[in-house]
Structure 1
């Protein structure tokens, strides 16, 4: 792995973006982060204990929770992680929303999900490239435009003087010269600051994310494992976010890095309850510049289209022949499920009966 990073020229960097493992960074980036963060590991070991607090309590105390709940309630299919997919004459399939994290609470399937997985004939995950780290890294090696800024551009072109000074100061604290990241797309730098030390430690120790764990279980049971995207497609979605949006998110992420344990705990708590549509508005309301971090601020339509909507459409289209065989268990990031343009709604438009199953 270290050889690969030297080939990138990232040995000095030692290192999505936003939406911590629910939709983006996507499955492939969640697993690439193992190497990215390992490359920048400090001499002292990371703290494997998570110390975050659920920010919902603070929202309630501040009188903001009702507004967050109202936003979530307005989102179609915003509650639930497991949905049954049916058509006459076919065994039912299921789609399950995951978090691409190693937290033990996330790795445990609920009873209905476990039953659906056991009965399934086929497992479908976002990308099977994640099961071969060399293949995943090759997507970056073969497509440097995913990682690098356009020729002649540097990060300074997307930051004002105050923002650049803030980024330089934050990087300096970590022993990272600004010069080592100035030609990289900001999403790449942001990614290494998104995960709290506890999650980083678990990834470095080899703990799998749920999607990978399910793939291992499926293969052990002799079930085929299929993917809906390639590593290149997932990473290109991140690289397609407008560069100014990426830079703004990087600044916001560095400003609230110490709140990341709280953000992670809030996301996990809401996820476990099935309150998927509450996750983004809760972070936006609870954390300064939270909207910039998670891509929900006004003007982020391009972000939503590239990283969520376009991928939802691709997933729904590629699911058609798989679902037509019946008996599939589909595991994708939970934020791909809700919304008028979410995978659940798109499958219904394609003639499938999709009902909540948890």
Structure 2
């Protein structure tokens, strides 16, 4: 989910989740325990969001067809139901499109191994020098829970650490103990495509993660950390809440929960929070969604020439919204039908 970047950063550090990690960790569903007025406010904020509900969709225009699957990037036994639902759609498919295919993943891993500076700022001021003592204490404590010593974190790039704050400490501990095996829906669908002899194509270059937060001011970088600190202590609860919402086909509520939580608990000015949320949506979702339309259309056209269609699987939070992939395809003249209702 656009959480995809937050969760995927664990992969960039060489970590992942196994089935054991996904099932042993416990937490609360925050929607079930929050005050009724807060739940109502979050629900109201999702009203009118295009294609808010659903995980599997059919998009058609003339002889072009794209089957779109919103994914959750970690293991869960409930993925079996989604795979069963999608299985008939492989008939006539000519390719699978994903955020990052096997070749791109290999290039990313090689780049990270060859150049530590991609994740570390070896020359600038350290984070203890840039943050207040209280902020650094909270950050270093939260990262210690995630297995990152303060001495290492002090020179890591702020965008990376802000994403790490969204990861469940329990899941990370279990991942380390289980060898870092990741079997999320993306990987399961890539396995299915390869078993069927279909090519797996990437929607974006391997180095996209490093370009998402270019040109941020030093203060914007630090505000990313500040905006994510409130949820860091509830990361296990967020993991449960996110997963439950995903399998209910209602992922936009997670985005609005993050917004609500930042306003309630970050201590930042409301204008700063709104700017941070807008920045994250623009960099993590909207820009990437718009960039994906061209490769989706190119693949669909090539498939149509062969009398077939394409399947696309990517983080579920990229599907809904004004600048979501579904709404962008609708603007291109595609008729959108939900398949998992």
TM range (shorter): 0.7 to 0.9
Supply the distance in 1 between the matched residues of 2:230 and 2:122 (Cα, whole angstroms). Answer: 26
Which residue number corresponds to residue 18 of structure 1? none
Residue deviations 1:216-270 (CA, integer Å, cap 9, x gap): 1211111111111122013321556655344344355455434111111111111
Residue 58 (structure 2) pairs with residue 84 (structure 1): yes
- 1:13-54, CA deviations, whole angstroms, 9 ceiling, x for partnerless residues? xxxxxxxx4443178535334x2579xxxxxx9896121121
1:1-358 to structure 2, matched below 5 A, reads 21-25=1-5, 29-33=9-13, 35-36=14-15, 49-59=24-34, 61-90=35-64, 92-106=65-79, 108-109=81-82, 111-117=84-90, 119-129=92-102, 133-140=105-112, 146-149=118-121, 151-156=123-128, 158-171=130-143, 177-200=149-172, 201-202=174-175, 204-238=179-213, 243-251=218-226, 253-254=228-229, 256-285=231-260, 289=265, 297-300=273-276, 301-324=278-301, 325-326=303-304, 327-358=309-340
Q: Give CA-to-partner distance per residue, 1:94-127, whole Å, 9 cap, x none.
A: 1111111223234641654332245533111111
Deviation larger for 339-348 or 242-251: 242-251
Aligned-partner SS, 2:161: helix
Contact 2:6 2:167 (8 Å CA) reproduced: no
Contact 2:16 2:182 in 1 (8 A): no
Q: Distance in 2 between matches of 1:55 and 1:173?
A: 21
- Counterpart-to-counterpart distance in 2, 1:223 and 1:30: 28
Distance in structure 2 (CA, Å) of the matches to 1:261 and 1:191 = 15
How far off is 1:147 after superposition?
A: 2.2
Distance in 1, matches of 2:267 and 2:4, equals: 15
Structure 1 residue 83: deviation in Å? 1.5
Measure the CA separation in 2 of the matches of 1:254 and 1:186: 12
Aligned length: 325
Output the CA distance in 2 between the equivalents of 1:47 and 1:98. Answer: 15
SS at structure 2 position matched to 1:179: helix
Q: Return the alpha-carbon distance in structure 2 between the equivalents of residues 102 and 37 of structure 1.
A: 9
* Cα distance in 2 between the residues matched to 1:346 and 1:297: 27
Match of 1:303, SS? helix
CA contact (8 A) 1:95 1:331 kept: yes
Query: Is contact 2:68–2:311 with CA below 8 Å preserved after alignment?
Result: yes
Greater Cα offset, 50-59 or 189-198: 189-198
In 1, Cα distance between the equivalents of 2:312 and 2:6?
15
TM-fit CA distance, 1:211: 0.6
Identify which range, 339-348 or 253-262, moves more after superposition. Answer: 253-262
Partners of 2:69 and 2:314 within 8 A in 1: yes
- Segments of structure 2 that go 5 or more residues without pairing to the other structure are none
**Which ranges of structure 1 fall in alignment gaps of 5 or more residues?**
1-20, 39-44
Q: 1:48·1:197 contact (CA, 8 Å) conserved in 2?
A: no
Mark the CA change 1:117 to 1:262 in structure 2 (over 3 Å): closer, same or farther: farther
Query: Quick one: distance in 2 between partners of 1:179 and 1:153?
Result: 13
TM-score, L = length of structure 2 = 0.81
Cα deviation digits, residues 170-210 of structure 1 (max 9, x gap): 45677855332222212323444433255332573524121
Name the Cα RMSD after superposition.
3.3
